[in-house]
């Protein structure tokens, strides 16, 4: 199946030279998944709400300053390959080209709507993200923005002092909040108003009650809820207590699952792949396979590598955070590392992953030995 029937030429386009305030107002009024940016009629990139988290940037800044690249997709590209490109590009939309010319866009929602009938065999527990970042009700909006930026995520479950789920705050909530309140101030008031907004507690902005799913629910049902209510993700809770945060299921998680392969070679996805320096996709794949092979009983179903660039630099080389996550028959394995340059950060994360894999292997062997010993003692 290709994207020729789900791509659309109904999209919003802005010139790179226009002011950022134009983009802010478009997101407030029309709530698009993203905006195509052009310069002199030629495609330049996209701008999404995530870029607008830089709310301290003045409205008269050129849109070009926040424009980011997005994968270029051919109008007849395979749906699964397109899903992979959206995940690796860290974007919700991609420009669609026909005969070398910009034709339109394809969105994550369009892909999910096209494949929704094939998602009933998957459960939320098979693909959701377990390591969830949360905030407390009394945390301020500055903390929210920092965590969303630092972890490259779109939503944060909000918990009370006992750790129970009470709400959720998203990138859309933050941008909508900033745009709405900034429209009430004059240019001279802006600086002080921003500081006051960043001090507000999350409780004042979060959405409540929260739409949740359990690990036993089907992915199809979860996606139907997300599409119907225009949610980018849902909080995952245990079946017996919807107050406990167990993880998050996002549209990106579903797209990632769509692009799993059944090839003999491990399937590795790399988010923000453009940050890689000398390393190639094949080398990343080989290094992860080397680690996985040290635990012969572990079968890796899928590997995801995420690169994130910090503003800090050393002699011009940016500080990079790398996260590696494996989905295996032994559960999820992960490793995180930071270093100057993508190669350094990747190997730091790989070292952590290897330690975690070997530790899990040792624990399992200890449990096996304990079971064998108990069986022998029972036979005496």
Class of domain 124-255: alpha beta
Tell me what the mean pLDDT of segment 20-47 comes to. 89
Q: Is the pLDDT of residue 263 over 50?
A: no
Class of domain 13-107: alpha beta
- pTM of this prediction? 0.70
Tell me what the mean pLDDT of segment 38-54 comes to. 85
Quick one: pLDDT at residue 337?
A: 92
pLDDT, tens only, 145-192: 888 887 778 889 999 999 999 999 998 888 777 665 554 444 444 445
Which positions ≥6 away from 195 have C-beta within 8 Å? Answer: none
- Say how far apart CA 129 and CA 257 lie, in whole Å: 12
For 160-246, list the strands marked E by DSSP. 165-170, 212-214, 233-237
- Say how far apart CA 166 and CA 182 lie, in whole Å: 27
Do the first three CATH levels of 13-107 and 124-255 match, i.e. the same topology? Answer: yes
Quick one: pLDDT at residue 188?
A: 46
pLDDT, tens only, 276-299: 888 888 899 889 988 888 887 778
- Say how far apart CA 102 and CA 69 lie, in whole Å: 14
**Percent of the chain residues topping a pLDDT of 90:** 38
Tell me what the mean pLDDT of segment 338-363 comes to. 88
Tell me the fold of 262-369: Double Stranded RNA Binding Domain (3.30.160)
How far, in Å, are 128, 130, 165, 259 from residue 241 at the CA level? 17, 16, 10, 32
Omega before 295 within 30 of 0, i.e. cis: no
Quick one: pLDDT at residue 345?
A: 93
Q: Which of 97-101, 107-111, 174-178, 332-336 has the weakest average pLDDT?
A: 174-178
Which positions ≥6 away from 2 have C-beta within 8 Å? Answer: 75, 76, 77, 78, 79
Tell me what the mean pLDDT of segment 95-119 comes to. 93
More confident residue, 212 or 130: 212
Per-residue confidence at 121, pLDDT binned at 50, 70, 90?
Answer: confident
**Percent of the chain residues topping a pLDDT of 70:** 87
- Domain-by-domain residue ranges, the chain? 13-107, 124-255, 262-369
Q: Kindly state the tokens that stand for 37.
A: 């940016």
- Say how far apart CA 271 and CA 305 lie, in whole Å: 6
With residue 15 as reference, give the H or E element that holds it: strand 13-15
């Amino acid at each position: 199946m290709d994207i020729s029937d789900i791509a659309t030429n109904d999209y919003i386009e802005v010139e790179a030279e226009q002011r950022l305030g134009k983009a802010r107002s478009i997101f407030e009024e029309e709530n698009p998944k993203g905006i195509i940016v052009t310069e002199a009629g030629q495609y330049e990139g996209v701008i999404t709400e995530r870029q607008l988290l830089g709310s301290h940037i003045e409205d008269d800044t050129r849109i070009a300053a926040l424009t980011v690249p997005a994968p270029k997709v051919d109008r007849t590209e395979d749906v699964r390959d397109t899903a992979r490109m959206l995940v690796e590009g860290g974007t919700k939309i991609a420009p669609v080209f026909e005969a070398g010319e910009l034709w339109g866009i394809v969105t994550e929602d369009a892909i999910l709507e096209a494949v929704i009938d094939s998602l009933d065999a998957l459960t939320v527990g098979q693909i959701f993200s377990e390591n969830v970042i949360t905030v407390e009700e009394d945390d301020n909006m500055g903390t929210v923005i920092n965590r969303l930026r630092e972890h490259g995520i779109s939503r944060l479950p909000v918990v009370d002092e006992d750790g129970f789920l009470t709400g959720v705050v998203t990138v859309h909530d933050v941008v909508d909040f900033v745009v709405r309140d900034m429209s009430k101030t004059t240019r001279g008031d802006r600086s002080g108003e921003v500081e006051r907004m960043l001090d507000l507690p999350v409780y004042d902005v979060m959405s409540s009650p929260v739409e949740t799913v359990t690990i036993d629910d089907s992915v199809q049902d979860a996606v139907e809820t997300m599409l119907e209510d225009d949610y980018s993700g849902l909080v995952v809770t245990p079946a017996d207590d919807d107050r406990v945060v167990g993880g998050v299921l996002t549209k990106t998680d579903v797209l990632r699952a769509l692009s799993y392969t059944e090839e003999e070679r491990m399937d590795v996805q790399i988010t923000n792949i453009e940050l890689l320096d000398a390393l190639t996709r094949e080398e990343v794949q080989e290094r992860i396979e080397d680690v996985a092979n040290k635990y012969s009983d572990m079968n890796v179903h899928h590997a995801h590598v995420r690169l994130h660039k910090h503003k800090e630099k050393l002699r011009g080389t940016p500080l990079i955070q790398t996260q590696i996550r494996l989905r295996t028959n032994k559960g999820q394995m992960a490793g995180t590392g930071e270093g100057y340059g993508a190669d350094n950060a990747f190997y730091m994360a790989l070292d952590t992953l290897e330690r975690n894999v070997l530790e899990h292997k040792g624990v399992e062997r200890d449990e096996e030995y304990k079971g064998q010993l108990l069986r022998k003692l029972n036979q005496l």
